[in-house]
A and B are shown apart, each in its own frame.
Chain A
Amino acid sequence: DTEVTQTPKHLVMGMTNKKSLKCEQHMGHRAMYWYKQKAKKPPELMFVYSYEKLSINESVPSRFSPECPNSSLLNLHLHALQPEDSALYLCASSPGGQNNEQYFGPGTRLTVT
């Protein structure tokens, strides 16, 4: 089973709202990732968690706050977003740390109004 699940599939939020994106995998993978992807562009790495610890933050604005409650779960908390933050947010995981292929979830399409 190479499945990464993400909820919700779609999210519309105002600039003053607080919302969270959820990502889950039950493959025993120890690295999990958040990416942001604009239309027709490649994914841009935001955060990496390795063995439940934040290992990479790609200078992401503090209005995005990641959380890894356990090895299967990754959240992205959103607060005071801007319209330019509208994008597809992809979660991924990889086995045995970071030196393996990444498996992606279906993404959350976020619209900030």
Chain B
Amino acid sequence: AQKITQTQPGMFVQEKEAVTLDCTYDTSDPSYGLFWYKQPSSGEMIFLIYQGSYDQQNATEGRYSLNFQKARKSANLVISASQLGDSAMYFCAMRPRTGANSKLTFGKGITLSVRP
């Protein structure tokens, strides 16, 4: 079984500052993928970044980077130079990389508000 934990209450950050959104996970699968999605109030789930469990380097995509600490089972999302448009709900998710029917398991999400 897989579990994703996102325990931070609503997060606030000043525009142009960096923010870290926490995510810890638990799994017995030897190979897995970790994902972050952004969901603005409009509802669309936007894929942000992916980290494979055997990837040697932390993933980066523009202003997004994933601080992957495998031994601690954490996959925190770092957003640099926050923008007002970053205000949204953020979901951490994972799935095993083996098995034809592997499912994506989501955390409960974190609400981020960017202040001007």
Contacts and interface: CB of A to CB of B under 8 A. Distances in A.
A43 B106 contact: yes
Contact of B107 (A42, A48, A55, A103): A42
Interface in A4-41: 40-41
Nearest to A108: B43
A56 B101 contact: yes
B43 A101 contact: no
A50 B103 CA distance: 12
Interface residues on A, range: 20 to 34
Contacts of B91: 42-43
B53 to A, nearest CB: 12
Given A42-B106, A42-B107, A101 B100 contact: no
Contact of B102 (A40, A99, A103, A106): A99
Interface of A: 2, 40-43, 45, 48, 50, 55-56, 88, 90, 92, 97-99, 101-107, 109
